[in-house]
Amino acid sequence: MTQREGWYLETNPIWEERIKNRQCPICGKNREDFDTRHKSRSTCCSIDCTSEWQGRFHTWQGIRFRIFKERNGICASCEVVCKDPWTLDHIHPIALGGEMWDPENLQILCEKCNKQKTARDLGQIAASKKLKKYSIPDRNEAIERWQHQDIQATLFES
């Protein structure tokens, strides 16, 4: 199973380009024009830009509570307002290729609904692992092998 990441870093090509050019990644101000306090030790030119820059780091707990607030704490399965304990669940499990940080892949579930979904997910994950372990060849390839073996058996029997 895939190990969970502790934090997520939001990236933006514009920010990366500005950093290469020795500019503030948020506003684009040149490093020479930074406030004297920020010139030597900061990536950003001001306190406001630094605050926005640091906001691109997301923790799992932060995302968990943000989604809970956005969705008013309503269970996606039974549509009842969740009381403790509740879980932020991946609709498409990470072990089956689901995205860890994608808000569209996250849902709130109450304890009862989470247990039911986890049981279903574990069954799908086990089936997926079995398919990988005993990889089934392409159907056409299997038919060709079978026909080839059948022809060889006929030739060598006579």
pLDDT, tens only, 58-94: 788 888 888 899 999 999 999 999 888 899 999 999 9
Residue 55 has pLDDT above 80, yes or no: no
- Is the omega angle on the peptide bond into residue 85 within 30 degrees of 0, that is, cis? yes
Find all residues with CB under 8 Å of 37, minimum gap 6, and list them: none
CATH superfamily for domain 59-158: His-Me finger endonucleases (3.40.1800.10)
Query: What is the reported pTM?
Result: 0.56
**Distance of alpha carbon 81 from alpha carbon 140, whole angstroms:** 51
Q: Binning pLDDT at 50, 70 and 90, where does residue 37 land?
A: low
Side-chain half-sphere exposure of 64, counting CA atoms within 13 A: 11
Percent of the chain whose pLDDT exceeds 90:
28
What are the sequence ranges of the domains in the chain?
1-55, 59-158
**Distance of alpha carbon 72 from alpha carbon 75, whole angstroms:** 9
pLDDT of residue 38: 57
How many other CB atoms are found less than 10 A from the CB of residue 158?
A: 4
